[in-house]
Amino acid sequence: MRTAFIKTLFELAQRDDRIVLLTGDLGFGVVDRFMQELPQQFINAGVAEQNMTGLAAGMALSGKIVFIYSIANFPVLRCLEQIRNDVCYHRINVKIVSIGGGMAYGAVGATHHATEDLAVMRALPNMVVVAPNDIVEASLATRAAVTHDGPFYLRMGRAGEPTIHKTDIDFQVGKAIKVREGCDLTFIVTGGLLKNVLGASDALAQRGLQARVLSMHTIKPLDSVAVLEAVQETPAIFTVEEHTIIGGLGGAVAEALMENDLRPTYFRRIGLQDTFTSRVGDQEYLRHVYGLSVEGIVHAAETTLTHA
């Protein structure tokens, strides 16, 4: 996803000199072409994310469209005060890009895992929160971030994510993409787990269960219309996210349902429980450990439908 992001941003920046990319002393190799060919639109702020955010805010107040780029928690939790007070309070054009959402940096442990970021960023006034599910969505989300007037959080994977969408899609901030129809249950998924959810959907189809699949790339503003349609047309709702189940996609969907006086027959948030990721390994291993593999998602769905 990060390559799709940089490629798309570079193309846009070539045509619009207001676009500026700031990095926290990382991404080299990926950002080299941007840095070399657009040196007036690139700054390495060093390992100083708070300063980088303040710098981005000042540039945005001067008319720039500023992207700050770092990995996992570093552009979020390390400089949350600056994001809240400098960016969101003034509702300015700073776009925060987190590379390696979820457990993409699995082997380096919980300090590098972004598993609370959606909840934190979703709580900030004026902030749009987007977590694409594949490379196609990542590129389109980058374009949307440029055109959106105001703060924008873009949570990307790290590298090697598959391309799920084989044709053009109608990508709109705040509007889910219906990837698959189904009448027995609905999976609502965000942040790079679409492939696993489709695999789980295939496995459930062999058991006679037809799953609707919604790619909910935007957490805020949430597509409440798609959620309400799903609960009215399918008896079971499952949210799937590489994130704590507290405050992220699952929380947003539950809020939408309760505020509209709708309760599905079955409802479950599939994600990390109220815990840090204490195991060490690559992303696929950790997804297996924490129930986010194809098998884990199938097990959660079957257990819920059987025992609820």
Token readout for 219 is 């957490």
**Marked catalytic residue, from 49, 137, 241, 242:** 49
State phi, psi for 230 to the nearest 5 degrees: -65, -45
Known active-site residue 49: yes
CA distance 82 to 120: 13
Q: Which residues contact 170 (CB under 8 A, 6 or more apart)?
A: 177
Active site residues: 49
